[in-house]
Amino acid sequence: MPYIIAAPCIDVMDKSCVEECPVDCIYEGDRKLYINPKECIDCGACEPVCPVEAISQDRRAAPEHLGFVEDNRRFFTERLPGRGEPIGAPGGSHKTGRIGVDTPTVADH
């Protein structure tokens, strides 16, 4: 997974990263944004525009945010509460719109 969004995004969701993403791979949960690892092209355009420094490459995640590496992947590969199937890789967040639900890790944060 190239880039992840960690805890500082929870309840902030500035969305500057969404505007910068050239491939539309940043999806909106209820309280946090998530980067789709299958759609991200590892360009890094999202990282410098995040006002709360929540975005990093997975291999450079701060120790206190390491759990968000796996959590970001789970948002797309596991069935989220209230949804019938995993989100997968639909080809851009414009196709799904706001997802409106988070992983249990974020919901319980």
Map out the domains of the chain with their CATH numbers. 3-97 (3.30.70.20)
Block means of pLDDT (10 residues each) for the chain, length 109 residues? 91 96 97 97 96 95 95 96 94 96 95
pTM as predicted: 0.95
Q: Tell me how far the alpha carbon of residue 60 is from its chain's centroid.
A: 16
Looking at residue 1, its pLDDT comes to: 56
